[in-house]
């Protein structure tokens, strides 16, 4: 190659372009956690229709407090490991625990295993749609029966905002006393970005109570997700029960952290 025919300005432009290309290539190869990926109970109930990326692993932790009817306090938490096992498939394993004062949680120590499949990304007139199946294993103290839940999830963007709809139906393997042997839950949610790294979220949750013959429970929740590093997202949320009976959550607050591995 004859370098005498290359001018200094042209060489400088070539080096700048090469440097920019290398930076872009390296940055795109680094893993990054999507702070707009909404997962149920982290800490809001609403969930979006998109799984984690193929071969991406995410560990999430959550602690929250609930004030229930009858002056009952609940402190609870869980750890969840999500993994993109295939294109559009997400596998998750979640052990959870809770402490009631006074009283005792019925599902303390149980493990949830779920599989989500995303059928399509959203188009101009079509929302993204996913189905999620979840099995709750009775690994906790005094737990009985295996519960199964099926959930449909849709997500649709409107401008910079997104709307979400969730509907789930739960089959209880071993109902206790007056507990329903199946129950449903519906969630309508909304999120909107605040700058490049924050997300504002709201949802309304309507569900059947655990005990048969009890009223429907309605909860309003709001929260904020903030990406503090490319691999780490923190979340804070609160909720207020606006209708229901003795199972109603008067107030709840939660804090979570998600980390890509």
pLDDT in tens, 166-215: 999 999 988 888 889 999 999 999 999 999 999 999 999 999 988 887 88
CATH number for the domain including 117? 2.40.160.40
Is there a domain that residue 11 lies in? no
Is there a domain that residue 187 lies in? yes
How many angstroms separate the CA atoms of 211 and 196, rounded? 43
pTM of the full predicted structure? 0.84
Count of beta carbons in the 10 Å neighbourhood of residue 35: 21
Listed as own residue / partner, the contacts of 103-109 with beta carbons closer than 8 Å and 24 or more positions apart are 103/72, 105/74, 105/76, 106/142, 106/143, 106/176, 107/136, 107/140, 107/143, 108/140, 108/141, 109/139, 109/140, 109/141, 109/143
Is there a domain that residue 25 lies in? no
Is there a domain that residue 8 lies in? no
**Tokens at 221, concatenated:** 């929740």
Sign of CA dihedral 83, 158, 252, 209: negative
> How sure is the predictor about 4, in pLDDT bands with cuts at 50, 70 and 90?
very low
Is there a domain that residue 104 lies in? yes
Please give the residue range of the domain that contains residue 72: 32-260
Is there a domain that residue 106 lies in? yes
Distances from the Cα of 232 to the Cαs of 28, 34, 52, 142, 259, in angstroms?
17, 9, 14, 36, 5
How many angstroms separate the CA atoms of 125 and 157, rounded? 10
Give the number of domains in the chain. Answer: 1
pLDDT tens readout for residues 82-135: 999 999 999 999 988 776 665 555 567 889 999 999 999 999 999 999 999 999
Is there a domain that residue 193 lies in? yes
């Amino acid at each position: 190659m004859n370098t005498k025919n290359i001018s200094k300005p042209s060489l400088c432009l070539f080096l700048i372009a090469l440097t920019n290309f290398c930076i872009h290539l390296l940055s795109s190869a680094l893993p990054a956690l999507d702070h707009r990926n909404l997962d149920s109970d982290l800490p809001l109930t609403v969930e979006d229709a998109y799984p984690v990326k193929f071969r991406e692993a995410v560990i999430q932790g959550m602690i929250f407090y609930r004030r229930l009817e009858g002056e009952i306090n609940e402190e609870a938490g869980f750890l969840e490991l999500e993994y993109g096992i295939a294109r559009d498939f997400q596998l998750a394993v979640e052990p959870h625990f809770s402490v009631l004062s006074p009283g005792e949680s019925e599902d303390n120590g149980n493990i949830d295993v779920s599989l989500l499949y995303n059928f399509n990304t959203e188009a101009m007139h079509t929302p993204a749609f996913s189905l999620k199946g979840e099995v709750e294993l009775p690994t906790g103290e005094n737990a009985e029966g295996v519960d199964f839940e099926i959930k449909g999830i849709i997500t649709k963007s409107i401008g910079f905002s997104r709307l979400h709809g969730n509907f789930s139906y739960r089959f209880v393997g071993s109902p206790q006393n007056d507990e329903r042997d199946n129950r449903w839950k519906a969630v309508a949610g909304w999120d909107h970005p605040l700058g490049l790294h924050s997300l504002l979220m709201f949802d309304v949750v309507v569900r059947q109570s655990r005990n048969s013959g009890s009223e429907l429970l309605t909860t309003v929740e709001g929260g904020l997700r903030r990406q503090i590093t490319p691999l780490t997202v923190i979340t804070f949320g609160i909720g207020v029960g606006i209708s229901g009976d003795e199972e109603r959550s008067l107030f709840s607050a939660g804090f979570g952290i998600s980390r890509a591995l």
